[in-house]
Amino acid sequence: MSIFGANIPLLNKFLKNFASCFTKKQMAMFTLVIYALFKDYKRNSLDAMAKATHTDYQKFQYFFSDSKWDIQAIKRTRLEIIQKQRTTAPTKDGLLAIDDTGCPKPFAKKTEGAKWQYCGPLKTKEVCNVGVAAAFASQAKHFPIDIIPYLPASEFPRGEKNPQFKDKIQIAIELFDLYAESIDFSGTVFDSWYAAARFLKHIHEKGKIFYSEMKSNRNIFMYHPVKKIHCCIKPDELVTLIKKHYWDKIKYVKFKTTDGSESPFSRGLFVRGKA
């Protein structure tokens, strides 16, 4: 019997796909975790899971802290399920979206990675855990692909000089490399913070397209068609140069909202060319 008063055949059938990732005892706990998430996923905790499933708290604590199971195997299985289903499989008209997100932990003292840093959901700084995530998005479907935890430099001896430390851009590059070949998508999209030179260069060298906003205070190194030299220019000057000297590489695009109407902010420029 489940926490809903009866077993749910469809959910149980789905969970069987993950049986190879666990032992029998682990699989039983994993099933309880998923059922508990269905009951209250917004305000979840180990204590809430235990109460919702009438299970000893220590069993949940052991499952997450000490039990040995392969999270990468779970991720692979989940993506295999998504890619095999016609209604969920990624399509070439979709985008690989990369961004970071945070989980506020205002009272955390010893939680690994929980530091005073920018928290995306709150749009301000807070003690939180941060992860860099990749998701698939198209007009018809969207789903999370993967998330890699970001550990601040203060978590490592010698900080940023520690070879195990990875900044957010490096994690974004890893996510891009992991899924650029295995998932169909037309391009990669991210906000202006991730429009760092090393990330853009990496994507370009892989022969992929990227979409991003550019902050007005950024410098863009490129060949200046008037000065006939490579130099740094501001985005507003670049727009003028594109319209005058690279008009043949411009494609005007319009994006519609989910209800089919055109957003007043949906017009834009797509520039074909090198990064």
Encode pLDDT of 43-86 as tens digits. 778 998 898 888 999 999 999 999 999 999 999 999 999 999 88
| Residue 215 confidence (pLDDT) | 84
Instruction: Judge whether residue 267 has pLDDT over 60.
Output: no
Domain range 91-212, CATH architecture: 2-Layer Sandwich (3.30)
CB-based contact 100:191 (threshold 8 Å)? no
| Residue 1 confidence (pLDDT) | 46
Instruction: Judge whether residue 169 has pLDDT over 50.
Output: yes
Tokens representing 151 are 């550990």
Tell me the pLDDT tens digit for each residue of 114-138: 999 999 999 999 999 999 999 999 9
* Radius of gyration, CA atoms only, the chain: 23
**CA-to-CA distance for 260 and 138, rounded, in angstroms?**
14
Strand locations in the chain, DSSP E?
Answer: 95-104, 115-119, 124-137, 142-150, 187-190, 210-212, 220-224, 229-233, 250-256, 262-271
| Residue 44 confidence (pLDDT) | 77
Instruction: Judge whether residue 251 has pLDDT over 50.
Output: yes
Closest alpha carbon to 143 in 190, 210, 191, 96: 96
Task: Report the share of the chain in percent with pLDDT over 70.
Answer: 87
Close Cβ partners of 193 (under 8 Å, ≥ 6 residues apart): none
Tokens representing 157 are 């001896």
**Which amino acid does the sequence have at 52?**
A
Tell me the pLDDT tens digit for each residue of 23-33: 999 999 999 99
Q: Which of 10-14, 72-76, 147-151, 251-255 is least confident?
A: 251-255
**CA-to-CA distance for 26 and 66, rounded, in angstroms?**
11
**CA-to-CA distance for 166 and 148, rounded, in angstroms?**
10
| Residue 214 confidence (pLDDT) | 82
Tokens representing 21 are 């990732």
Strand locations in 175-261, DSSP E?
Answer: 187-190, 210-212, 220-224, 229-233, 250-256
Concatenating the DSSP letter of every residue in 31-97 gives HHHHHHHHH-STT--HHHHHHHHT--HHHHHHHHHT----HHHHHHHHHHHHHHSTTTS--TT-EEE
| Residue 264 confidence (pLDDT) | 46
Instruction: Judge whether residue 3 has pLDDT over 80.
Output: no
